Amino acid sequence: MGLLTEGHPLSWEETKKHAQYVREHGVEQFINTYKELKDRRNDSLQWGDEVEFMIIRFDHEKKKVHLLLKAHEILPILMEPENQNPDDCTTLWRPEYADYMIEGTPGKPYGYLPVHFNMVEANMRLRRQQGQELLDKDEYVLSTSNFPRNGCPDCSWPTYKPTTDTSASASLFFPDEFIFADHPRFKILTRNIRLRRNSKVAFNIPIFIDTNTPRPFIEDFSIYGDTAGVNTTAAIKDHIYLDAIGLGTGCSCLQVTFQAQSIDEARFLYDQLIPLTPIMLAMSASSPIWRGYLTEIDCRWNVLCAMSDDRTTEEEGSEPLKNECFRIPKSRYSSVDCYISPDSAKYNDQEVVLDMNVFHKLIENDIDHLLAQHIAHLFIRDPLILFEEQLHLDDTKDTDLFENINSTNWQSMRFKPPPADCDIGWRVEFRPTELQMTDFENAALVTFIVLLTRAILTYNLNLLIPISNVDENMKFAQQRDALRHQKFHFRKSLTTEQTPDTPFLTSIQKNKSQEPEYDKTECEHCLMTINEIINGSNKFVGLLNIIQNYLSNIDLDADTQDTINQYLDLISRRAAGTLMTNATWMRHFVANHPVYKHDSVVTDEIAYDLLWKMTKITNDEEECPEVVRKKPSKTTLDVTAAVEQDNNELEIKQSLINNNQ
């Protein structure tokens, strides 16, 4: 999650009044950070994941599964070790949007040692256990991106009914009691998004039309209570209507943050990972069921974009501009709009809306065009939440107001400048990935992405394609079973002039020149299946082959090697379509459930059976060979022996070098 400032929150009117102040001082803070730290070099590779777990409760008698509104009870206990001894924790915990969510990260970021890959899964498992130990009978920690019946009547424990007239979201489906209340941030965000846009948020997901789905499908909202006076005109036929920020922001995801050696490396990495965001979204798809219905989408992404959309009608273009400054094509929750490294400029082929005052100010302060453009684009947004204390900060020492805007631009990647008052370098965050039901899969996805960053940096690869094509890929990625049925724009050759002259990479180059099809067109990219992108073909090297080559050139202890091999095997099989995504498996489960009527409805009983099965799979009580074929990995929390071995080897190498000199 982003910044969690404590203090006295201002009303929306006050926040809006101070919007310009926030922007001016936020930019000033960025300029100061940039001037002070632009030459910071040689930070070590550090990285860490974030898992937003969901807590649920089963009623075995009634065959019902509920979202368990208990984060406010268990989080203070989970955070106790950090409060006692912040420098020595194995895990860290934070609140998230909903009271059924708990966010866990490793106690410290992982480092450059390969053995750290062997800790990820064990640490995720430990987090799950820590949560689980604080729950009662029939209550469980689950990891998946969307609760299939979130927003249905009686979907929580305890039960609450939405109060459309007095609540922050004014939703017909999502009661305010679901929002985590022990930090003011979440309810205020909810209220202010609605107040800023001057209407409820709305999104319609196309329903999956099964053999018995009524046509047209028109939902009767009267089961949600008294709908008199509730405007449901935004609902359209053959779609599932959502009307609450929480139905998006209350979804969970899997994020990874990397620290780069320098600002230049961070910018390079930020750009290089952008084309991978849709690919990882499709690979991790786990959200096919919304408000109790099977739908045509497999991922949460567009729902979140719509549910966090604070644009006014003038900004989004349905009314002429009168009071607002900009037409803004996308929600503040959206895929990245521009690359930020100087070398990437030619791939920025979409209009980027800028606050020109901010842009000029940055340019005057010797910030180059692309970085200035990125920041000036983020700063077209208003602050959504402001605390009184933030109005009296020292711009030379604080970064809170910069973070206020940066951390409420929820894009598929985030560029994270060093925060004030700590020794953290330039970081980037990879944000699209959906959560998987097992720690094994989550660790595999994280490991794959981190290894890819290592290979990209080591071989100086280039994955860039025009940003408009990445956006198109984001649309493809969310379609039902995109992994097997869609093709994605991807770069034909990833090597550059700077790519080192190793036999493996030279052979990729050779392949390229021998391949006549590449010469037929000027275009650097083409449409590929995810199988081709990941596993390669006779025309394309495949990301896994690059990773394997990278791994063959570094020293790995046997256990880590074994674990990584298993993760890469999962990635390979999933990309090939021989293992299902979580989303596809869920669809199969519903379709084959004895009480499913082929009418697109995922009833309480089906959801109960589905989540009970998932809980057992998560806890290794049942296997799920359609999704994950694994022997227990050798993941471990204690890597002391392997680290010692690594250090000894380093010392031996160093002494050999010294002796040779």
User: Closest CB to ligand ADP belongs to which residue?
Assistant: 48
- Supply the minimum distance, in Å, between the C-beta of residue 105 and Mg ion: 9
In three-state secondary structure terms, 64 is: strand
**Is the Cβ of residue 76 or residue 317 nearer to ligand ADP in the bound state?**
76
> Measured between alpha carbons, how far is 584 from 586 in angstroms, rounded to an integer?
5
**Phi–psi pair at 364, nearest 5 degrees:** -60, -25
Task: Report the relative pairing of strands 91-95 and 101-106 from DSSP bridges.
Answer: antiparallel
- Supply the minimum distance, in Å, between the C-beta of residue 435 and Mg ion: 11
**Is the Cβ of residue 82 or residue 314 nearer to ligand ADP in the bound state?**
82
Mark the segment that binds Mg ion (CB under 5 A) among 50-58, 335-343, 521-529, 600-608.
50-58
Chosen from Mg ion, ligand ADP, none, partner binding at 127 (C-beta under 5 to 8 Å by type): none
438 binds Mg ion (CB under 5 A): no
Mark the segment that binds Mg ion (CB under 5 A) among 253-261, 369-377, 436-444, 460-468.
253-261
**Is the Cβ of residue 96 or residue 355 nearer to ligand ADP in the bound state?**
96
Q: Which two tokens stand for residue 331?
A: 């929600």
Cβ atoms of 330 and 347 within 8 Å: the answer is no
- Supply the minimum distance, in Å, between the C-beta of residue 126 and ligand ADP: 14
The contacts of residue 294 (CB under 8 Å, 6+ apart) are 207, 208, 210, 288, 587, 590, 600, 601, 602
**Is the Cβ of residue 92 or residue 556 nearer to ligand ADP in the bound state?**
92
**Is the Cβ of residue 2 or residue 153 nearer to Mg ion in the bound state?**
2
> Measured between alpha carbons, how far is 479 from 476 in angstroms, rounded to an integer?
6
Mark the segment that binds Mg ion (CB under 5 A) among 22-30, 45-53, 161-169, 472-480.
45-53
Q: Among 118, 156, 255, 399, indicate the residue that binds Mg ion (CB under 5 A).
A: 255
Chosen from Mg ion, ligand ADP, none, partner binding at 434 (C-beta under 5 to 8 Å by type): none
Cβ atoms of 624 and 144 within 8 Å: the answer is no
> Measured between alpha carbons, how far is 65 from 597 in angstroms, rounded to an integer?
20
Q: What is the DSSP string of 420-453?
A: TTS----EEEE--PBP-SSHHHHHHHHHHHHHHH
Q: Say whether the peptide bond before residue 81 is cis (omega within 30 degrees of 0).
A: no
424 binds Mg ion (CB under 5 A): no
Q: Which two tokens stand for residue 640?
A: 């002391």
Helices and strands (DSSP H and E) totals, the chain: 25, 17
Site size toward Mg ion, by CB under 5 A: 4
**Is the Cβ of residue 2 or residue 225 nearer to Mg ion in the bound state?**
2
> Measured between alpha carbons, how far is 107 from 104 in angstroms, rounded to an integer?
9
Chosen from Mg ion, ligand ADP, none, partner binding at 49 (C-beta under 5 to 8 Å by type): ligand ADP
> Measured between alpha carbons, how far is 243 from 232 in angstroms, rounded to an integer?
9
Chosen from Mg ion, ligand ADP, none, partner binding at 46 (C-beta under 5 to 8 Å by type): ligand ADP
Closest CA to 34 of 531, 402, 433: 402
Q: Which two tokens stand for residue 429?
A: 């965050």
Bridge partners, residue 259, by sequence:
46, 427
Chosen from ligand ADP, Mg ion, none, partner binding at 156 (C-beta under 5 to 8 Å by type): none
Chosen from Mg ion, ligand ADP, none, partner binding at 106 (C-beta under 5 to 8 Å by type): ligand ADP
Question: Given the rule CB under 6 A, which residues bind ligand ADP?
Answer: 1-2, 46-50, 105-106, 109, 255, 257-259, 424, 427, 429
- Supply the minimum distance, in Å, between the C-beta of residue 94 and Mg ion: 7
Chosen from Mg ion, ligand ADP, none, partner binding at 105 (C-beta under 5 to 8 Å by type): ligand ADP
**Is the Cβ of residue 271 or residue 298 nearer to ligand ADP in the bound state?**
271
User: Closest CB to Mg ion belongs to which residue?
Assistant: 1
**Is the Cβ of residue 127 or residue 480 nearer to ligand ADP in the bound state?**
127
> Measured between alpha carbons, how far is 485 from 297 in angstroms, rounded to an integer?
13
Mark the segment that binds Mg ion (CB under 5 A) among 47-55, 78-86, 582-590, 645-653.
47-55
Report which residue type is found at 517. E
> Measured between alpha carbons, how far is 258 from 45 in angstroms, rounded to an integer?
7
Task: Report the relative pairing of strands 410-411 and 333-334 from DSSP bridges.
Answer: parallel
- Supply the minimum distance, in Å, between the C-beta of residue 576 and Mg ion: 30
- Supply the minimum distance, in Å, between the C-beta of residue 104 and ligand ADP: 9
Alpha helix (H) residue ranges in 329-461: 356-364, 369-378, 400-406, 439-459
Q: What is the largest CA-CA distance in the chain?
A: 85
**Is the Cβ of residue 311 or residue 414 nearer to ligand ADP in the bound state?**
414
Q: Among 1, 209, 234, 393, indicate the residue that binds Mg ion (CB under 5 A).
A: 1
Query: In the 3-class helix/strand/coil scheme, how is 213-241 assigned residue by residue?
Result: CCCCCCCCHHHHCCCCCCCCCCCCCCEEE
**Is the Cβ of residue 304 or residue 508 nearer to ligand ADP in the bound state?**
304
**Is the Cβ of residue 105 or residue 192 nearer to ligand ADP in the bound state?**
105
- Supply the minimum distance, in Å, between the C-beta of residue 107 and ligand ADP: 8
The binding site for Mg ion (CB under 5 A) comprises: 1, 50, 103, 255
